[in-house]
Structure 1
């Protein structure tokens, strides 16, 4: 009987030990799965936030490019009309008043370029800015024509790049 009691006691101790070890293992495994699930969710949330930020920034940059081009074309129209009246191309000077909407569009474009991660879009927006500026500050009508003729193809390339990038952000 003492041997049976000893075996019974050993069985209870062994069973308790085994149950404890398996419970600890199960808890650790569950904790690892929860941590991994949290990490995956955090990564999905981060990617979603990044994509939303980029999508909004790109669309705002696209609007800023359009506003800059609008300001450039309006200024060129003003200068051409003045040239027709006076017979002289009124090349811009430092003292020439800023074109309507130009400064605001330029500042917005530059701020938004800094927010866009895509190098091609930033580069194209910068090229549009430079070319629009060259057209507005042209020394004569021929130079203004040369620069302004480059604007629409640049804008088309910019918009095509936007069209390529935007779907990947959804």
Structure 2
């Protein structure tokens, strides 16, 4: 696992080293940022899965644990990258596509888990706040009711559109059905 991690770091380092015209510091900083974000998303996802499947509560209380863990690991990663010279790897080594595939697989799986945790958490927040099933299925957006007095500009625009276009169409449809 450590070898995979080092080789992945090295291949991304080589990519940014060639792209940034041999600016070693910028390449290492870019790796630090990329892996810091991946660690943050992974820690949130793992904490979220643990929290969502072990308790009926949501994660809306602002847990600091996953941010703290990701920051601590990122600092250690930054120190490692600062000291690492990648001397034991050959500079003429071609990119190994297998490691890029693994890296992108990790990124995609991280995104999928993050979205899954966010979706479950969103549904629990809606239920906790007492939203109806119809409102939850609509993503928190209430259906338009022309009998309600609108309070927002969006509601006023929807009412104007209904009065000027949809209402006339529905009246004409009713007249043709009655005839």
Give yes or no for TM over 0.5.
no
Q: TM-score, normalised by structure 2?
A: 0.25
Q: TM-score, normalised by structure 1?
A: 0.26
